[in-house]
Structure formats: structure tokens, C-alpha cells
Structure 1
């Protein structure tokens, strides 16, 4: 939702155009990330958290837990002190910070949060990480993932064989 849309009736056309042209690609109050990420057990996963221009100098962090207010911080900027299996890199020019988790285990399957530290309420967005033992992830939607199983079936038939995993 664009805040500028609320004020359309109160601004004259000149001021509206100036506000419209000045608005960055991603509104300064926005923070986005994938809803669901699926990765293979033992492998690694990288999650991109995109933020608005106004947050480029703020601290960013990645935390784990089903409830944002009580999540455990795993890594944060600006001084990235990687945990044993997680790291974070902030590209402020691109407006994105990326979190990489390695050597994924079953207990890594959980809800995570991309967070920007601000005065007041921190912008945050939820990311569900699923750890797969069944094979290669072909495609995910917010409701399900299609995964090819590890199997000895010839590749010709793999197009017709997939596992649908509910999220």
C-alpha cells in the first residue's frame, strides 16, 4: 500500500508529481523476502531480504522463532560475526541483505525473520524454512512445494514423478 495514495485528494498536481518522482523503487517502509524457502538437508540456503532506501544505514538482523517479538537473533549487521552456520551481508547500494545458512539440519526447519532495527517498531517479514530429505526442489508456492524424489528412475520419467509437500 502506498501512503501517497491516501493524500491524493489533499495535494495539488505539482506537489503530487514531485512526491511521485521522488519515491524509490521499494517504498522506504517496506521489507520483503520470500514467504517460503526449501533447501536440502546438509546443504545451504541464501535468503535475500530487500528493504527501502531509507533503511540503508540501519542495522539488519536475522532471527529464528515462530513469534517475532521473542525470536532469537542469529546474525546481524554491521559487524557480521557469523554464528557457527549463519552469516549476513548487507549491500546497502542495492537495498538488500542476504543471509546464508550452511550444513542445514532438521532442527533448522522453522520460521525466521528478516528485520531492520529502527526507532519504534522494527520492520520485519516472515520466512519459513523447510529442510528437504526427499530430493531436489522444483517449484514452491505459498501453499506447497513440488520436489523430485531421490530415485533410480531414468531422467526421462522424472518429469512425471514429483512429490507435493504441503506447507
Structure 2
């Protein structure tokens, strides 16, 4: 039986606006998640982290360091004001809450 992995995404903007989105994909597949940001953040570091508790965020990849770690990669497109995170080979352990972040 094929299982589905559910990723719940928190997106926080520079004005502390938070939106929620859900992505689901079959176990073993990949998902690419777009994270849009404002022009004022164009040259700032972007990051992707998994949230275990609201005040803690475990950074998985950043745009200023190795942009790939294991099955997770990040790519910034400042001309389009979006960075994307790709998670490959999704497993049940990957289900949970994630955060698109921009260092200000």
C-alpha cells in the first residue's frame, strides 16, 4: 500500500505575516516548494527548516552554505523573488511542519 507524506508549511514574511499550506506526495517521491519573498529581501540569506517546537527551528539548508544536504536542496531566484526547496525520496519521517525563512 502506497503511503502519502504530508508536509505542512509555515511561511512568514518580513511583516510577520504567516500563511499555511499543505503539500502531500507519495512516499519515495519528490516535492518542490516555492517560497516567495519581497524585493527588500532579494539579497538576504534564505533557509528551510523543520519545526519541532514553535520556538525552535532546525535548519536543513541555507542559500549561503552548501545548498544541498542529503535529500534536501535550496535554490534562490532573486529575479523572480522566490526560492525553492526540493525534498527528494520522501519518507514518513519527513512528515511535519516546515518553515520558509529569510534572514533580516
Query: TM-score, normalised on structure 2?
Result: 0.78
Residue number in structure 2 paired with 1:98: 84
Farther-moved stretch of structure 1 (39-48 vs 61-70): 61-70
Higher helix share: 1
Deviation beyond 6 Å, 4+ runs, structure 1? 30-33
Relative distance call for 1:70 and 1:28 in structure 2 (3 A) is closer
Structure 1, unaligned runs of 5 or more: 1-26, 119-167
Query: TM-score, normalised on structure 1?
Result: 0.50
Provide the aligned length of Structure 1 versus Structure 2: 92
Structure 2, unaligned runs of 5 or more: 1-12
Relative distance call for 1:78 and 1:32 in structure 2 (3 A) is farther
Q: Which has the higher contact order (CA 8 A, sep 6+)?
A: 2
Higher strand share: 2
Higher Cα Rg, which structure: 1
1:110 to 88, 96, 102: 96
1:33, 1:50 within 8 Å by CA — same for their partners in 2?
no
Task: Output the CA distance in 2 between the equivalents of 1:33 and 1:90.
Answer: 20
